[in-house]
Amino acid sequence: MKLHFYPRLSLALVLFLFSVATSSNQHDYSDALSKSILFFEGQRSGFLPNDQRLTWRRNSGLSDGWTHNTDLTGGYYDAGDNVKFNFPMAFTTTMLGWSVVEFGELMPATELRNTLVALRWGSDYLLKSVSQLPNRIFVQVGDPIADHNCWERPEDMDTARTAYAVNAPNPASEVAGEITAALSAASIAFRSSDPGYSLTLLQNAVKTFQFADTHRGAYSSNDDIKYDVCPFYCDFNGFQDELLWGAAWLRKATGDESYLSYIESNREPFGASENVDEFGWDNKVGGLNVLVSKEVIAGNMYNLEAYKASAESFMCSLVPESPGQHVEYTPGGLLYKPGGSQLQHATTISFLLLVYAQYLSRSSLSLNCGSLSVPPDHLRRLAKKQVDYILGENPMRLSYMVGYGETYPKKIHHRGSSLPSIVDHPGAIGCKDGSVYFNSSEPNPNVLIGAVVGGPGEDDKYDDDRSDFRKSEPTTYINAPFVGVLAYFAANPGFS
């Protein structure tokens, strides 16, 4: 994709760009880091602990799994609804784990602990979802059609809590592949603080990958569940990238040569040889290339050079000064991809920029974009621009993180946040009884501190509108990579 140019800029935008260029504003990245982690407590399902800090939330989903006579309590609601989609939840868990692996040593002790708590809330649930392997894997809890037809607190849910399982030989490679990555990343993150738990995670990651690879195919191809997972979280990019992604994380967690051979021999057959300029819950290729490139940069594994070349192509597409094709940016400077929830791209790609910069720095290397040599700090500056945009340096002068800064979204698309808490309204609020709160013009009564919303459109405009879920709905997979990004800048507050 080519960079878009906007020759006619409004006076407001011109003044904004001038103010950013001349501003010496310093964000409180440590505060943003703390809040980005706190957000996950607002998304918890299951029995909440005594040290729960967002006290407007209470226990929920306590019968999850009963339809299969198994315990599937816990985990996270992925966004503003009350469904547990294991595919994006696993990606969230992977990114929290990767945040600890790459940036945990930069985190203050308290925030490292809080991040590990958030990570374990996800990984504990994922262990339950693969507890019946080798023959069954759970991929979702909650009927999304019924749930989306209601506006009610998770504590009041009276919609079907159907547990969706995939039984062998039916496939679920994209979900199982991502769960493999999540458990592997978590196993590395917990290796020093809880070696026994780390080993449990790794053993289950191996079993999960065996299921993913033995029964190849998409979970959405199963007739008995596809209508309840699509169009919500189907992987329209295929399942092969998750197989490579899971194998790459197992390689990182175990050092096993067999996984190295797997990612080397299957790159082209699995269609991962094309240059990809995105990374998210449904497309892992951009992250895969960066992750595997460390084997080349730090380990001289030149048989994996093709992964590094694709990673460099991706990185170069983010550098406006480099030759060749570029990603799109809005006039205000936000990374832009067609579709909703724009900030998921800004947080995941900023994460990759920082990780790749780390790999290069440790080997005293620069990024080569044709005739242009790009030092690691330039990649960090590109990431910082995205972070600062999210935290308020944008044409709207709005922080897109709830509870951070003076001005932030007050009417986010989130059931628990928008409805009165059980503390203030002990009586149940039924499925359709919540509509009055959904349609209210008042701010949400419960502040979901740290939530990063979907964000603005390609014109940098954002209306604080609860009904516009593409812009106003937060998700766990927006926040998870942002934890690692903010950890870096909190530890390097003077970087510019």
Which residues are part of the catalytic machinery?
A: 413, 464, 473
Which residues, 6 or more positions from 435, have their beta carbon under 8 angstroms from its beta carbon?
Answer: 151
Residues facing residue 165 across a β-bridge? 138
| Residue 266 exposed, middle or buried by CB count within 10 Å (0-12, 13-18, 19+) | middle
- Phi/psi at 167 (5° precision): -105, 135
Please write down the HEC assignment for all residues of 117-155. HHHHHHHHHHHHHCCCCCCEEEEEECCHHHHHCCCCCHH
Classified as helix, coil or strand, 61 is coil
In angstroms, how far apart are the furthest CA atoms of the chain? 66
- From the list 337, 325, 335, 245, the residue with the least C-alpha distance to 291 is 245
In this structure, the chain runs to a length of: 496
Residue 454 in contact with residue 170, Cβ under 8 Å?
A: no
- From the list 86, 92, 94, 105, the residue with the least C-alpha distance to 40 is 92
| CA dist list (Å): 163 to 186, 351, 431, 475 | 24, 33, 20, 21
Q: What is the CA radius of gyration of the chain?
A: 22
- From the list 401, 285, 310, the residue with the least C-alpha distance to 347 is 401
Q: What amino acid occupies position 8?
A: R
Residue with tokens 């550098």: 319
Which residues, 6 or more positions from 253, have their beta carbon under 8 angstroms from its beta carbon?
Answer: 184, 185, 187, 188, 202, 205
Residues facing residue 267 across a β-bridge? none
Residue 162 in contact with residue 143, Cβ under 8 Å?
A: yes
Report the C-alpha dihedral over residues 284, 286, 287, 288, rounded to 10 degrees: 70
Neighbours of 348 (CB within 10 A): 26
- Taking each helix axis from N to C end, the angle separating 305-317 and 285-297, rounded to the nearest 10 degrees, works out to 120
Pair of tokens at residue 332: 């205000």
- From the list 281, 226, 77, the residue with the least C-alpha distance to 159 is 77
Residues facing residue 136 across a β-bridge? 167
Classified as helix, coil or strand, 336 is strand
| CA dist list (Å): 215 to 126, 164, 211, 465 | 19, 17, 6, 43
